[in-house]
Amino acid sequence: MQTEAPRTLPAAPPLVVIVVDDDPAVRGSLKFSLELEGFLVRAYGSAADVRTAGLDDADCLVIDQRMPAMTGLDFIAKLRAQNISIPAVLIISQPNAAVSDRAAKLGVPIVEKPLLGNALVERIQRACNPTAA
The DSSP letter of residue 78 is H
Q: What is the CATH number of domain 16-128?
A: 3.40.50.2300
Is pLDDT of 131 > 70?
no
Give the pLDDT score at 132. Answer: 57
Domain ranges across the chain: 16-128
Overall average pLDDT of the 69-84 stretch: 93
Alpha helices in the chain (DSSP H): 24-36, 47-53, 72-81, 97-106, 119-128
Kindly report, residue by residue over 42-52, the tens digit of the pLDDT.
999 999 998 76
Residue 19, phi then psi, degrees to nearest 5: -105, 130
Q: Is the dihedral of CA 57, 44, 113, 99 positive or negative?
A: negative
